[in-house]
Every structure is written in C-alpha cells, then in structure tokens.
Amino acid sequence: MEIKKVGVALLGLGVVGGGTYKILTEKREAICKSDGVDIEIKRVLDKNSERIKELGIDESLVARSIDEIAADKEVHIVAEFFGGVEPARSFLIRALEAGKSVVTANKEMLSKCWHELELAARRGGGGVYFEASCVGGVPVIRTLTDSMQGNAITSMKGIVNGTTNYILSRMSDEGASYDACLKEAQRLGYAEADPSADVDGFDSTYKNSILSSLAYRTRVPVDTVYREGISDIDVKDIAIGKDLGYTIKLLAVSKCAGGAIEARVHPAFLPHSHPLSSVKGSFNALFLHGDNVGDVMLYGRGAGALPTGSAIVSDIAFAAGKERHRRFDFETEEVDRAKFVGDFSCGYYLRVIADSASLGKIIDVLRRNGVSDCAVKTVGENETVFVTHKIKESAAKRAVRDMELLSGVEKVAALIRIED
C-alpha cells in the first residue's frame, strides 16, 4: 500500500485539542497501517506556553498566526478547538481559502456560519468535516451522510447534551432538586460555571440545526429551531410523570413530512418503553426513522476529551483519504422559511393549582381548545394533572392562558410536552 503523507495543524490545545494531539500521536502508526495515510502534526496555534510544554510539543511546531499556517505548504488539514464563533470562523475561512481542509467540533460556529465555510471551501478546493460537532464520539454525522442514502429520513429524536441528561437523570433517580443536581454536575466537570449554553438548550439547538440540515438535505437555520431549557423543571413533575409511565428528557426533535419541517428543543416526557428513556447520566443517543430502514438508534459518550478527540481524529483520517470533498449544496441556497413549522403538535402534561370547584371550568377550557378527552389525576390538595392527546402548541398555550384567567385557578404550575 502506498502511504500518503498528510500534515495537520491544531488550533487550540484545550481539553479536546489536547486529547486530539494525544490520540494522533499515539495512533499515528496504527492509522498509517489501517488507512494508508501518515498523519503528522506539523503546526499548533495556542498562546498557552505551559500547555504546550505539558503536552511535550516541540517549540518548532508552534505557529504565531493563522496566516503562518495558511502559508505552510506542508499543512493539508486544519483542526479547530476554540469554541464560539470568533476567531474560529475567520481562522477556518482563511485556512479554507488557502486550500486546506478543515475539521471542527464547534457546533455553534458551524450551525451559524456553515454556509460561509462551504463557500470558502469551494473557492479553495478543500472540504469541511464536522463529525465531532454533534454527539461527541458517536458517529451520527457519518451515518446521516454515508449510511442512509437509501432512505428518506422522516424524523429524529435525540438526547444530544450530556449535561442536561445527567441533571435530569439524577433528579429522576434520586428525587434531588434541579439546583442540587446542577451543582453536582458543575463539581464533576459536566457543567460549566455558566451553564446556560447547556441548561437553556442552546447547545442542543445548534446540534439540531446541523443534524436536521443533513437529514433533510436543506438548510435549517438555528433561528427556526424552537428552544426551551430545563431550569423550570420541578422534581415533583418528574415523580408524577414516572407514576404515569413517563421518563423526562431534554429532547432535540425534528420531523419532515411533505416538505414541511419542524425542529425543536425542549424537555419532554417519553414512555418508559421508548429506547431513549433508558439513556442515563451523561450519555447521548440519536433515534431516527428512515422510510426503508425503519428505526435506528446511535448511543454513546456525547462529550469529553477522548470521545470528542476520537471523532476529530476520525474526520482527519477520513479527510486525508479524500481526493474530492463532499459539497453541501443546500448550505449555499436561499432559505425558504415558509417550509418551517412553528405550530407543532404533541401531547401535553399540565399541572394546575386550583380549587376543586374549578375542575369543570378547566375541562371546558381544554375542550374549547381542541382537547376532546384527557386523563385527569389528582396529585395533592388543590392540584390536578391533565394529560392531553396531540394538540397544536398554540392551542396548548392558549388553554394555559385561559385557565389562568379563571377565578379559582392560582396558576398552571407545569406544562411539559409528551412525545410518543
């Protein structure tokens, strides 16, 4: 087998960048034997000299700027680990315009700037690779792009954020409060000091945008994805849901029917029998449906230095073996916003605090908003849970507003969607 020599530059040597450096160094010979490419780290770009020393990187490999890397003829692939939109976007566009291929795990930057990267890749001739951007070390991107050609994907549901899954799993298993579980997640390193990207659903929204774009071969911008986080979830509702046969998860959901696309991120109850209900702790999973293959589920570690580094290295080896790079044409097309569904349908769990005399009036409100029948469960003094069949999101929110106008209703304490 003829060995192809490929030079790589690493932008950033933090947790994932350092993990990638270690994997590339330790697995260089094995990748060379299995893939026929000799991948050598030619350049690194990081201001932290202590980190460079800690990893044992030779000073001669340290670049002073992205321009130095872009001009280096021995660098063929640039892998980025900065996070955030800038300077990652500008640096990768510079590398692409210089003819390099790029590899990134940066879901925020990719979801917001993918079309710009794609145009720069066309100008320079390289490719854009991003397996590690969604669900860490689980090969969901490659499955969507290289394993599902015989299918039209009609729906996806995913647990795509390990921090929120850890928090909700602990709340469910131990009955601990949201605040207590968040603090523990921060202590263990699952959650950042500012956890808003995870717990408010931003991270999952970026991933849903990327995965839905790939699944339906059309650009699904971040601002078309409905987003709601987990900070208002009460352990009381989790316990009631368990009694009703449900498990709570922060879900990334998307569906495509007749050219209409809905994409959303929010907490949801799933039946205990659904495969995603058994995904616990910091693990992730994606459950998708193809018209020919049926249901497929991918499961594994969604984050961490080595799982994410593993996906980065996979992309580097994959890109290194390509003479021609895939072009995502949909990313350069004008977005047709008319095809995105904002008013989706699902079941609803409502916990209402109201006096017993208001029960009939609450049911009348639900009927006026399209609920022909619903399960009713008394869960405490002046507290009742209503579980509806599928109705429109607008109808559910209108019903909540109308209930709270009733004189005997103190408040609607919880609204949680139900996915089947």
| Sole residue written with tokens 């690779």 | 129
- DSSP class of residue 36 equals S
Token output for 350? 């409502």
Which residue shows structure tokens 């009036």? 361
DSSP, residue by residue, 103-156 = EE--HHHHHHHHHHHHHHHHHHS--EE-GGGSSTTS-HHHHHHHS-TT--EEEE
249 is catalytic: no
The three-state secondary structure class of 9 is: strand
Q: DSSP letters along 62-113, please?
A: B-S-HHHHHH-TT--EEEE---SSTTHHHHHHHHHHTT-EEEE--HHHHHHH
Residues comprising the chain, all counted = 420
In the chain the first and final C-alpha atoms are separated, in Å, by 50
Among 207, 236, 255, 390, the one annotated catalytic: 207
Q: Are 309 and 131 in contact (CB under 8 A)?
A: no
8 A C-beta contact, residue 46 and residue 12: yes
Helices within 175-219 (DSSP H only): 178-188, 196-199, 202-216
Contact yes or no for 256/224 (Cβ under 8 A): no
Q: Is 275 in a helix, a strand, or coil?
A: helix
153-159 and 246-257 beta bridge pairing: antiparallel
Q: How far from 46 is each of 14, 117, 384, CA to CA, in Å?
A: 9, 22, 57
* Catalytic positions, written as ranges: 207
